[in-house]
A and B are shown apart, each in its own frame.
Chain A
Amino acid sequence: MAMAVAPSWVDVDGIRTRYFEAGKGEPILFITGSHYGNTVAASPAETWEYNIGPLSQRYRVIVVDKLGHGHTENPRNGDYTQEAVHRHLVAFMRVMNLEGTHVVGQSAGALPAAALPHLVPERVRSLTVINSSSLAPGVSLNEVNYAGCPHPAFSREGQRWLFERCAYDLSSVSENFVEAGFEVMSQPKYRESSELMEKGGLKNSLFRPDLAKVKHETLQRIADAGSLRPTQVIWGAEDHSSSIERGLMLYRTIAAHERQAYFHVVAAAGHHPYREHPEQFNELMTGFIGSLN
Chain B
Amino acid sequence: MSDKFVTVSGVKTRYVEEGSGPATLVLIHGGALTDPGYCPSATVWEHNIAGLAQSARVLAYDAPGQGQSEAPKEDADYSYDGLVRHARGFLDATEVKKAHLVGHDEGAMIALRLAFEAPERVASLTIVASPAIAPAGDADINFALMGRPHPIYGAESQRWLLSRTSYTDHHLRAGRWMEEAAETARGETFRAVRAKLTEGKLGAQVRASLAKLKANNYVRFRETGVSVPTLMVWGHQDPLSPVPFAISLFQIVSAKQPLTQIRILNQAGSMPFREQPPAFDAAVGGFVRALET
Which residues on A are within 8 Å of B, measured CB to CB? Answer: 237, 244, 248, 251, 255, 258-268, 277, 279-280, 282-284, 286-288, 290-291
Contact with A along B197-233 (1 / 0, CB 8 A): 0000000000000000000000000000000000000
Please judge, given known A-B contacts A265-B250, A291-B278, whether A286 and B286 are in contact too, CB under 8 Å.
yes
Contact yes or no, A283 B254, CB < 8 A? no
Q: Tell me whether A280 and B287 are in contact in the complex, defined as CB-CB below 8 angstroms, given that A248-B243, A262-B263 are known contacts.
A: yes
Could you tell me if A262 and B279 are in contact, using CB atoms closer than 8 angstroms?
yes
With a cutoff of 8 Å between Cβ atoms, the chain A residues found around residue B281 in the complex are 291
For residue B283, which residues in chain A have a CB less than 8 angstroms away from its CB? 262, 264, 284, 287
Chain B interface residues toward A at CB < 8 A: 236, 243, 247, 250-251, 253-254, 257-267, 278-279, 281-283, 285-287, 289-291, 293
Q: Closest A residue to B280 by CB, please name it.
A: A291
| Among all A-B residue pairs, the 5 with the closest Cβ atoms | A287-B282, A267-B254, A287-B286, A268-B258, A283-B286
Shortest beta-carbon distance from B179 to chain A in Å: 27
Closest to A237 in B: B254
Q: Give A263 to B250 CA distance when docked, in angstroms.
A: 13
**A290-B279 Cα distance, complex, nearest whole Å:** 9
Q: Quick one: closest B residue to A168, CB to CB? A: B258
Contacts of A291 in B (CB 8 A): 278-279, 281-282
Q: B285 near A262 (CB under 8 angstroms)?
A: no
Q: Known contacts being A248-B243, A284-B286, A287-B285, is A255 close to B236, with CB within 8 Å?
A: yes
- In angstroms, Cα B286 to Cα A266, docked, is 14
Contact of A267 among B250, B267, B279, B293 (CB under 8 A): B250
| 7 CB < 8 A contacts A-B | A248-B243, A255-B266, A261-B266, A262-B283, A280-B261, A283-B287, A287-B285
The listed residue (A237, A260, A268) touching B279 by CB distance below 8 A is A260
Q: Which residues of A contact B264 (CB under 8 A)?
A: 251, 262-264
Which residues of chain B are within 8 angstroms of A287 by Cβ–Cβ distance? 282-283, 285-286
Q: With contacts A265-B261, A267-B260, A280-B261 known, is A258 near B266, CB below 8 A?
A: yes
In Å, the complex CA distance between A23 and B282 comes to 22
B43 to chain A, nearest CB (A): 22
Of all chain B residues, which has the CB nearest A233? Answer: B264
CB distance from B266 to the nearest CB of A (A): 4
- A265 contacts B262, C-beta separation under 8 Å: yes
Residues of A within 8 A of B278 (CB): 290-291
Give A286's nearest chain B residue, CB to CB: B286
Contact B267 A268 (CB under 8 A): no
Bound CA–CA A252/B282 (angstroms): 21
With A and B bound together, what is the CA distance between A286 and B283 in angstroms?
10
Give bound CA distance, A97 to B213, whole Å: 57
In the bound assembly, the distance between CA atoms of A277 and B257 in angstroms comes to 14
Q: Is A262 touching B262 in the complex (CB atoms < 8 A)?
A: no
Indicate if the CB atoms of B263 and A263 lie closer than 8 Å.
Answer: yes
* Complex Cα gap A287–B277 (Å): 12
Output the least CB separation between A156 and chain B (Å): 29
Q: Could you tell me the distance between the alpha carbons of A190 and B165 in the complex, rounded to whole angstroms?
A: 55
Chain B residues in 8 Å Cβ range of A237: 250-251, 254
Whether A259 and B260, one on each chain, are in contact in the complex, defined by CB atoms closer than 8 angstroms, is no
By the criterion CB–CB under 8 Å, are B259 and A267 in contact?
Answer: yes
Would A264 and B262 be within 8 Å (CB), given that A248-B243, A248-B247, A282-B290 are in contact? yes
Nearest-neighbour CB distance to chain A for B53, whole angstroms, equals: 14
Least CB separation from B256: chain A residue: A267
**Which of A259, A261, A290 interacts with B282 by CB under 8 Å?**
A290
List 4 additional A-B contacts (Cβ < 8 Å) besides A264-B283, A267-B254, A291-B278.
A259-B267, A265-B261, A280-B261, A291-B281
A283 adjacent to B289 (CB under 8 Å): yes
Residues of B within 8 A of A284 (CB): 283, 286, 290
- A267, B289: Cβ atoms closer than 8 Å: no
CB distance from B31 to the nearest CB of A (A): 26
A280: chain B residues at CB < 8 Å are: 259, 261, 286-287, 290
Q: Which chain A residue has the least Cβ–Cβ distance from B262?
A: A265
Chain B neighbourhood of A251, CB < 8 A: 264
